[in-house]
Structure 1
Amino acid sequence: MSVSLVVVTVFMSAVLLVSAGAKSLRTPHITEQMSTLGVPQRMMALLIGAQIAGAAGAIAGLWWGPVGIAAATGLTLYFAGAVASHLRVGDRRGALPAVILTMASVALIVLRAVTL
Structure 2
Amino acid sequence: MYEAYQIVAVLTILANAVIAILDFCKANFVLQNSAAVDVPESWIPWLAALKAAGATGLLLGLLGVPYVGTAAAVGLVVFFIGAVLTHIRAKAISTIGAPVAYLALAVATLTLGLV
Give distance in 1, aligned partners of 2:33 and 2:78. 20
* Residue ranges of structure 1 left out of the alignment (5+ in a row): none
Matches within 5 A, 1:1-116: 2-62=2-62, 63-114=64-115
- Are the equivalent residues in 1 in contact too, given 2:13–2:56 (CA < 8 A)? yes
* Residue ranges of structure 2 left out of the alignment (5+ in a row): none
- Superposition TM-score, scaled by structure 2 size: 0.92
Find the residue that maps to 2:79 and give its secondary structure: helix
Give distance in 2, aligned partners of 1:19 and 1:106. 17
Cα deviation, 1:24-82, whole Å, max 9, x if unaligned, reads: 11111111111111111221121111011000001111212111110000000111111
Over 2 Å off, 4+ runs: none
- Are the equivalent residues in 2 in contact too, given 1:65–1:113 (CA < 8 A)? no
Higher RCO (CA-CA < 8 Å; seq separation 6+): 2
Q: Percent identity?
A: 28
Shift of 1:102: 1.3
Q: Aligned Cα RMSD in Å?
A: 1.3
Find the residue that maps to 2:96 and give its secondary structure: helix
Give distance in 2, aligned partners of 1:53 and 1:33. 21
- Are the equivalent residues in 1 in contact too, given 2:76–2:106 (CA < 8 A)? yes
